[in-house]
Amino acid sequence: MIKKDDILDIGITGMTHEGIGVGRIDGMVVFVQGALDGERARIKIIKVTKTYAVARIEELTEKSPLRQEPFCPVYKRCGGCSLQHMRYEKTLDFKHQVVIDNLQRIGGLTELKVEPTLGMDKPSGYRNKAQYPVGMGKSGLEAGFFARRSHEIVNTKSCDIQHPVSDTAKAAVLEYMKAYKVSAYDEVTHYGLIRHVVTKVGIQTGEVMVIIVSASPSIPKRDKLVEILKGRVPGLQSVILNINDQPGNVVLGKRNITLYGKDSIEDRLGGLIFEISPLSFYQINPVQTEILYQKAITYAGLTGAETVFDLYCGIGTIALFAAGKAKKVIGVEVIPEAVEAARRNAERNGITNAEFYAGEAETVVPQLYEQGVKADVVFVDPPRKGCDEALLRTLVAMAPRRIVYVSCNPSTLARDLKYLTGEGFEVKEVQPVDMFPWTVHVESVVLITRVKD
């Protein structure tokens, strides 16, 4: 009988989708954080339930050749890049298997071939957006990332997956706060001002936006904040004060005040120029985004005669990529600010065959369909929760020739593919792309075609 604090030997025979090693002792499943399949270890049991146990590694007695030393000094506490103990090629294989497992277990797609995960040549410094919570720690004012499964801030001077200018901007804001005694927001008492520092970087243009998230629009010495940021942050084009006075985990509020420069910045992607505003979504890894979108456009098989829907379109990235190869593109996005940005992006790039609607896809698309507007090809790029069933029902009724599904969550992807394959569609190809190196997250682009009558 396994008990808490037992020291035991175990062989790791598999891994969960969160990258946790799995083995069995006396028939009970044991989860071991940081263990790789094929390894053996002496472990300490830290939790026991009726059906499983959780343990930590005391000593690795047999190491996998695919293990490496994590490159981040706060790797174990932070938990953001939880696969750093794997060699990069191992992480790609791991993510490939995660997609396969979900498609088979949830989607019932047991015969489907999944292509190998497309990785990066240099999987570092790839993030063009950073979000640093700010708070008071044991050593005073600090900013970094939340520890795994908590809101304890892990103070970090630098992060290897962020663009280096983001760390510079964070340090500049802390310098301002210390110099002028500006308080950090306390999540428990709800007192204090500064909650987060958010950065957005145009990787191709070099333009930088710094967003200071405050619980109040009244912060002291705004001019000094701007002065410090201008002196420290190369490429600074925009300083935004974002007001978030609501309790909870949502980082950004809805109100923005421009303290310096422009209301938005720009970046280039695939030969197009895109406007990036404080609240709009823009893929965080532009190198892999181009690879992802090129695959999506290839899957669409556009000839120039199609009407195309781009659902959950954000600032119109996929829509504008497709516009040059289609007759007409219609984008739908729930965030009005992003829709306005998409329209400006179309105008800035001289694209006249794209139009954008603000609203939930599951509401707007059925309305368009009732008005007789149908798509030959549909792109869907939903959030982690996947597509609403009302939207899927409309797509089934509309019967587009092709659906190209871009997913950031293999489990909801599998669920939605199960629905579509039960309603007259078939999955032709699945391509995982490593948009988030060293994390457990994986993006996939999937080609779905209508079964011919």
Model confidence pLDDT, tens digit, residues 120-175: 999 999 999 999 999 998 888 999 998 877 788 888 888 999 999 999 999 999 99
Buried b (16+ CB within 10 A) or exposed e, 344-354: bbbeebebeeb
The verdict on domain 101-119+285-450 having CATH code 3.40.50.150 is yes
CATH number given to 129-265: 2.40.50.1070
- The predicted model gives 233-256 an average pLDDT of 95
Q: Which residues participate in catalysis according to the annotation?
A: 408
The DSSP result for 53-118, as a single string, is EEEEEEEEEE--TTB---S-TTHHHH-TTTTTTB-HHHHHHHHHHHHHHHHHHTT--TT--BPPPB
Output 188 or 39, whichever has higher pLDDT: 39
Q: What is the pLDDT of residue 407?
A: 96
Q: What is the pLDDT of residue 59?
A: 96
CB 265 within 8 A of CB 207: yes
Name the DSSP class of 202.
-
> 136: Cβ–Cβ under 8 A, 6 or more apart, which residues?
142, 184, 186
What are the residue ranges of CATH 2.40.50.1070 in the chain? 129-265
Q: What is the pLDDT of residue 155?
A: 87
426 band by pLDDT with thresholds 50, 70 and 90: very high
**Structure confidence by residue, pLDDT tens digits, 380-411:** 999 999 999 999 999 999 999 999 999 999 99
453 band by pLDDT with thresholds 50, 70 and 90: low
Tokens of 401: 């020739």
Q: What is the pLDDT of residue 79?
A: 75
CB 283 within 8 A of CB 317: yes
Share above pLDDT 70 across residues of the chain, in percent, rounded to a whole number:
100
> 95: Cβ–Cβ under 8 A, 6 or more apart, which residues?
117, 432, 434, 440, 442
What are the residue ranges of CATH 3.40.50.150 in the chain? 101-119+285-450
Q: How far apart are CA 249 and CA 412, in angstroms?
A: 22
- The predicted model gives 33-58 an average pLDDT of 95
Q: What is the pLDDT of residue 348?
A: 94
pLDDT at 80 over 90: no
Beta partners for residue 185, in sequence order: none
pLDDT at 435 over 70: yes
Output 242 or 281, whichever has higher pLDDT: 242
Share above pLDDT 90 across residues of the chain, in percent, rounded to a whole number:
87
Distances (CA, A) of 411 to 101, 210, 405, 444: 9, 34, 13, 11
- The predicted model gives 245-274 an average pLDDT of 94
**Structure confidence by residue, pLDDT tens digits, 273-310:** 999 999 888 889 999 999 999 999 999 999 999 999 99
What are the residue ranges of CATH 2.40.50.140 in the chain? 7-67
- The predicted model gives 82-88 an average pLDDT of 94
Q: What is the pLDDT of residue 149?
A: 75
- The predicted model gives 176-184 an average pLDDT of 96
The verdict on domain 7-67 having CATH code 2.40.50.140 is yes
Q: What is the pLDDT of residue 263?
A: 95
Predicted model pTM? 0.90
Tokens of 438: 């060293």
157: left (phi over 0), alpha (psi -120 to 50) or beta: alpha
Q: What are phi and psi of 452, to 5 degrees?
A: -65, 140
